Amino acid sequence: MIRDNVQKIINELPQRVELVAVIKGRSPEDILTAVEAGVKILGVNYIKDVRNLFPLLDKKVSWHYIGIASLEKHDLLRRKYLEIFDMIETVDSVKLAEELDKRCANIGKVMPILIEVNIAKEPQKSGVIPEELENIIREILSFKYVRIMGLMTMGPLADNPEKLRPYFKEMKRLFNYIDSLKLPNVEMKYLSMGMSDSYKVAIEEGANIVRIGTKLFE
């Protein structure tokens, strides 16, 4: 079933859209099946999943961190994990970007990052509010060992994915605006938004990374 789910979704995604398989709560066996079926990027919420899976998969896949990325989450900032991750999608503060910059400088690696936007301004969620986005990007762009590659959002919970369309539309507007500034060390390449219940709407509104878990592993 997992193999069929993966292949169905990969076949229906436009070529420009990358699939990130959200592996939170999934067994190593299920994740390996998904990779064998064609998954190329794993989305990691918890570092323990890397500890369990990296010995099995190594660099056969790309590793994206999509969990809560705070300075309190010390494991993420450890050298061995920074060496593994190919992108951190959830950078939401200058302080975090600065710490990543320092740690990545120590290993000689430029880390691609996405700036997480709290597009619905939900107080319980992490992310930069839209009004602060440009200023935060301007502060981060001077760092040499992190490179802003786009934006990411979670979006609010909704019983109908159509209710998320205005938020996705606004994310695309912000994405285009930041791109139009042509800032140094900023490449607006990726817009990561949309999950199992909303990825189709997100793609229609400009997403080129979708993060899908339930629909792959159900």
Please give the pLDDT value at position 71.
Answer: 67
CATH says 2-217 is which class?
alpha beta
Q: What phi and psi values does residue 25 have, to the nearest 5 degrees?
A: 80, 5
Average pLDDT of the residues in 208-216: 97
The per-residue pLDDT for range 163-187, each reduced to its tens digit, is 999 999 999 999 999 999 999 999 9
The per-residue pLDDT for range 77-111, each reduced to its tens digit, is 889 999 999 999 999 999 999 999 999 999 999 99
Indicate whether 75 pLDDT > 90: no
d(C-alpha 34, C-alpha 128), whole Å: 32
The per-residue pLDDT for range 24-64, each reduced to its tens digit, is 999 999 999 999 999 999 999 999 999 989 999 999 999 99
Per DSSP, the three-state class of 48 is helix
d(C-alpha 62, C-alpha 41), whole Å: 5
H or E segment to which residue 149 belongs: strand 146-153
The per-residue pLDDT for range 118-156, each reduced to its tens digit, is 999 998 888 999 999 999 999 999 999 999 999 999 988
Contact 76, 48 (CB under 8 A): no
Indicate whether 76 pLDDT > 90: no
Binning pLDDT at 50, 70 and 90, where does residue 73 land? low
